[in-house]
Structure 1
Amino acid sequence: MPRPYVLLSVATSVDGYIDDTSTARLLLSNSEDFDRVDQVRAESDAILIGAGTMRSDNPRLLVNSEERRAARVAAGKPAYPLKVTISASGDLDADLKFWHHGGEKLAYTTDVGEEKLRERLAGLADVVSTGPAIDFGALLDDLGARGIERLMVEGGGQIHTGFLSQGLADEIHLAIAPLVVGDPSAPRFLNPATYPGGSTRRMHLAEASTIGDVALLRYLPKQEGSA
């Protein structure tokens, strides 16, 4: 089965941070951009976030628009996309909102984390081990075998880094907010890694637009840009 099309979706500050170090979540998107993200979710077969994002933000990760959910059902799809997470350690609490809202859930883990998650998430989610370590390629193969054609990845930085550094991302939606964080200990969109083509390879910019005070850049990282 073919692997799903992988779309990385992220909102950052001007200096590339996805959050600050306060206890409150930093809101980088505006209301119009949140609505755009909801539309992209509705167009996806699955939405993925990492364990770190689940612990820090405790999101429900839903398609919020009733009209969009109805349109999915009318098209023969579940009201909500499949919700997916990754936890190498298996240290995810069963009381997180992610498990108790929306449709079906799926957790990818390692051989070490599998038994722990199967016990904690019994009746809440399917659990799949990708082996001794998280294998992003095996994850995509498994999603493809489940009929997932379009995967939306919403972070965090370690997850985005994994997909992009391994050449597995087909598209990036980068929303840039007019904010500066400036804290070197705050989380960033991408972590240090070796990326395909290195620092001299220019990705193709497919679209640049404004959504209120947010700039949206749409990149196609598997395609070459022009200097």
Structure 2
Amino acid sequence: MERCAAAPTAGEELDTDHVITRPYVLLSVAASIDGYIDDAAPERLVLSNEADLDRVDQVRAESDAILIGATTLRRDNPRLLVNSAERRDEREARGLPPYPLKITITRSGDLDRDLRFWHHGGDKLIYCPDQAVPRLRERLGDLADVAGLGADFDFGVMLDDLGRRGVERLMVEGGGAVHTQFLTAGLADEVHLAIAPFFLGDPAAPRFVNPGDFPHGPGNRMRLAEARTIGDIAFLRYLPKEKVT
């Protein structure tokens, strides 16, 4: 299966001659009891314990691509890898690259080429408005493919393009603005929520989601597919597209 097709040029018309299968979208987040995914300090706050981080590594290994927003990329400077060598070997045994495709999305195109994201793991892909494409291609060179999404972002168009690239399972690791857009647009198939056993209470800190018009309000409850403890973490798995009966 092709997983890293060349990025479309800015303004290129999409191929509509065949049915596009969008990826299965899984949102993954760790949050405090009061819904914060980080604090306001310069260093990244680790909310999960070691066992839960290993669970996340397994989900990454099972994914074709991992997506993170540019704000989180700049703030946390993650490598975003499958850390287990055994899991990487298992991927290669199935004919896959050792690391999933890594994706970020940016409106401004303000991404530093020194970020660790570009220099670790396998292939990288950026989605941005057409106007940011030339600047990103000049700045990053061969560090990443750059794909324009028109004058503004349309997450549905992005998922269509990922489907054409052979991505069947997309893991989304945030941040809050990205999670909000997937959820308000009804594009999330699954939500993994790991709750850390403490409060933050810092209004300057980022949250799991931002204010928005969510289709799953009090009158349209999501289905809880799984609930279990992982050490001191409460792990919840929701299926937003399945109706509660």
TM band (smaller chain) = over 0.9
2:178 maps to: 159
Report the Cα distance in structure 1 between the residues aligned to 2:229 and 2:217, rounded to whole angstroms.
Answer: 29
1:89 aligns with 2:108: yes
**SS of residue matched to 1:121:** helix
CA RMSD in angstroms, aligned pairs only? 0.8
Report the Cα distance in structure 2 between the residues aligned to 1:110 and 1:29, rounded to whole angstroms.
Answer: 34
**SS of residue matched to 2:51:** helix
2:35 maps to: 16
Provide closer, same or farther for how the CA distance between residues 199 and 117 of structure 1 changes in structure 2, counting only shifts above 3 A. farther
Which of 108, 114, 128 pairs up with 1:109? 128
Deviation for aligned residue 1:124: 0.7
Which of 74, 90, 103 pairs up with 1:71? 90
1:47 maps to: 66
Give the structure-1-normalised TM-score.
0.98
Report the Cα distance in structure 1 between the residues aligned to 2:172 and 2:41, rounded to whole angstroms.
Answer: 24
Which of 127, 135, 152 pairs up with 2:154? 135
Provide closer, same or farther for how the CA distance between residues 217 and 127 of structure 1 changes in structure 2, counting only shifts above 3 A. same
Unaligned residue ranges in structure 1 (runs of 5+): none
Counterpart residue identity of residue 123, structure 1: D
Contact 2:52–2:233 (CA<8 Å) still a contact in 1? yes
1:62 aligns with 2:81: yes
> Which digits, 9 at most, give the CA deviation of each residue in 1:87-130, with x for residues without a partner?
01100011100000000000000022111111111111110011
2:203 maps to: 184
Report the Cα distance in structure 2 between the residues aligned to 1:52 and 1:214, rounded to whole angstroms.
Answer: 26
Counterpart residue identity of residue 31, structure 1: E
Give the structure-2-normalised TM-score.
0.91
**SS of residue matched to 2:153:** coil
1:35 aligns with 2:50: no
2:219 maps to: 200
Identity of aligned residues (%): 67
Deviation for aligned residue 1:197: 4.5
**SS of residue matched to 1:143:** helix
Give the number of equivalent residue pairs: 226
Deviating runs (4+, > 4 A) in structure 1?
A: none
Which of 23, 37, 51 pairs up with 1:4? 23
2:187 maps to: 168
Counterpart residue identity of residue 73, structure 1: E
1:25 maps to: 44
